[in-house]
Chains A and B, each alone.
Chain A
Amino acid sequence: MTEATHTVKSYEQELERLRGMMARMGGLVERQTAQAVKAVVEGDEEAAIEAPDLDPEVDELEREAEALAIRILALRSPMAIDLREIVAALKITGDLERIGDYAASIARRALKLDMDGGISLIGLRSMGRLVQDNLRRAIDALAARDRDQAVAVWQADTAVDELYTAMFRELMTYMMEDPRNIGSCIHLLFVAKNLERIGDHTTNIAERIYYAVTGEMLPSVRPRGGLGHSSSPDAR
């Protein structure tokens, strides 16, 4: 084996390792988010404990991925799509780590929730589902370097924002109805806010995937999507 092919091979392996780390981080934060939603909606204590427990592992992976990305940048001077992929990876791992933090914070709040004021959690459940589904599709798009999927995720966040507004209004009504609800409602409001933030970071990931694959940025203003648990087709 000549030296040149050897270099190329280990370079490819390093990129592969970086992708593997991102997939693992993705799997971990997906799990954290799932458990956080479950903790709030179903009052599952075990889930509430598991979500923050996974945090150190996510943080560790973020540091490792960052070190590896910097190493590749320094030693291999990658160009074009490789360079974009590594720069995007640096940012995506940051987004994933933030998502993990939000999920952990939701789960911790779930432990403090005292639900018996007749507050409906159905809205929160569908918001959780939607956020989880977008996250799943973003990480799939990351693994497949799928530009179209990234755009679909990017558009779908509008529905999350709409649900958040609806949740806000609903919780406000509960608080006005009975001041004894205020404690739980404030917790739930933060839960909804954190889910909405997870949605935003998911959108960021989609934007960075798009950039890494195409070399172009998505427009800064998002078109309005329709309702649904996913992007709206070109309706009408």
Chain B
Amino acid sequence: MTEAGLALCLLGVSCLSGVAGWIAGGRRLPRRAPFLPVLRRDDAAGREVGLEEMLDFLPDCGLLLTRNGSLRFANTEALAVFGDALGTIVRHPEVFSALQSLNGEIVLATVDVILDVPVRRVVRLVLRLVPEKLSQAGVSVLAILSDRSEQDAVERVRADFVAYASHELRTPLAALIGFIETLRGPAADDPAAQKQFLEIMAAQAGRMQRLIEQLLTLSRVEMTEHRKPRGEVDAARAVARVRDESAPLCSVRGIVLETAAEPLTFQGDEDQVVQVLLNLVENAIKYASTGGRVPVVSLTMAESEVGGKEGVSFTVADNGPGIEARHLPRLTERFYRVEGGRGETAPGYGLGLAIVRHIIDRHDGRLSIESEVGRGTYCTVWLPVRGERRQARERPSLLLE
């Protein structure tokens, strides 16, 4: 093995142990690995291993940067975990100042970066000056990234949950307490009134239960939002599941859900994709039957390209009363409800589409809602089909597959 090759192995080892040390909260970077593993490559004797090839073998997210903050290389793990967000992370002003602070004497810096869009993420970067004899093509800093979004999300979601739950549950709870007081007092000897009140109370309690379930779903979805889905979705199966799961609601409302699907698989979380489509279909069913016509709801899919990326789009269409244009931009806000035309409030809590939006954000997808009053509504969910993504920096991977 050549001298440079050996030095590379050393760097790899010290990086690995070093990173483990920092994450465990250790402050000290071991100056040299306690023992040197012997990396023998008899078959490729004499071949030099590049820094980039080494990084691709790391289980951590590693980047190579220049001193001015241009990204020269991202390893497979970094691309898989951070993907499109890498650009935003690297050009963050605090990363730039940390890069500037690295000189011959300070060789290590740690920065925490918070991203707001497309989903909130907290990323910790540990920057390390690459020794001069290893650097090539202007590369001078190695950055190891770790995703700290999970801890951050747990805290935020908990706070949000308490706030929303207490706010939204207060009204139905006050109603329940009112009825209980009436049952104990004025209506204590009136069986007819008791029966009627108990029915209202049961309905209120049911509402509260559904609200809590939706809030829990929303919290779960928010917690995993920053983690890219790694499973596989069978589009035809997902559509079939939506059809089966919405069948009870359809038969109550006397609607036949028309579905059309083609065989196609793409990367994603199938349960979540089903949840998205089911929420949209349930909305469509509820609204279609208030349109005053024979209700028609359909779920169709097609392959389509958005912004140069291959993808698949699912369209849920209904012929309900439609939604006024002024509501459209705000539909995915949580607790946003469209007031009913005849002063009636919409049946839900305004959480369904918020859940839909978070799931689509997680999949890097797009949601578009088009509606015409008196004609109906089209909701289109576009999800990228990964794997065929054009990615200039992507290299054939040795670790995946």
Contact = CB atoms under 8 A, between A and B. Distances in A.
* Chains A and B form a bound pair: yes
B170 interface: no
Interface string A153-179: 000000100110110010000000000
Given A129-B116, A228-B368, A236-B370, A122 B313 contact: no
Interface in A39-96: 54, 57
A23 interface: yes
B116 A227 contact: no
B7 to A, nearest CB: 27
Contacts of A16: 70
A231 B307 contact: yes
A235 interface: yes
Contact of B368 (A28, A139, A233): A233
Central interface residue in B69, B95, B311, B366, by most chain A CB within 10 Å? B366
Interface stretch (A109-117, A142-150, A208-216): A142-150
Interface in B302-327: 304, 306-309, 311, 313, 315, 325-326
Given A133-B117, A159-B329, A162-B329, A227 B368 contact: yes
B21 interface: no
Interface residues of A, number: 51
A140 B82 CA distance: 14
A20 B369 CA distance: 38
B230 to A, nearest CB: 23
Contact of A233 (B70, B328, B382): B382
A37 B369 contact: no
B308 A226 contact: no
Interface string B347-391: 000000000010001000011111000000010101000000000
A34 interface: yes
Nearest to B325: A162
Contacts of B382: 233
B116 A20 contact: no
A227 B96 CA distance: 35
Give the size category of B's interface with A.
Answer: 35 or more
Contacts of B332: 126, 229
Contacts of A136: 87-88, 117-118
Contact of B93 (A31, A38, A140, A229): A31
A232 interface: yes
Given A133-B117, A233-B311, A233-B382, A140 B370 contact: no
Interface in B262-291: none
B84 interface: yes
A204 interface: no
A132 interface: yes
Interface string B61-80: 00000001110000000000
Contacts of A229: 118, 332, 357, 361, 366-367
30 contacts: A16-B70, A26-B91, A27-B93, A31-B92, A38-B116, A123-B333, A126-B333, A129-B117, A132-B116, A136-B118, A139-B87, A140-B88, A143-B87, A149-B308, A151-B307, A152-B306, A152-B307, A162-B329, A163-B330, A165-B326, A166-B330, A226-B369, A227-B329, A228-B367, A228-B368, A230-B366, A232-B380, A233-B306, A233-B380, A236-B380
Given A143-B91, A163-B329, A163-B330, 9 more contacts: A24-B69, A27-B69, A27-B92, A30-B88, A126-B332, A226-B369, A226-B370, A227-B367, A228-B368
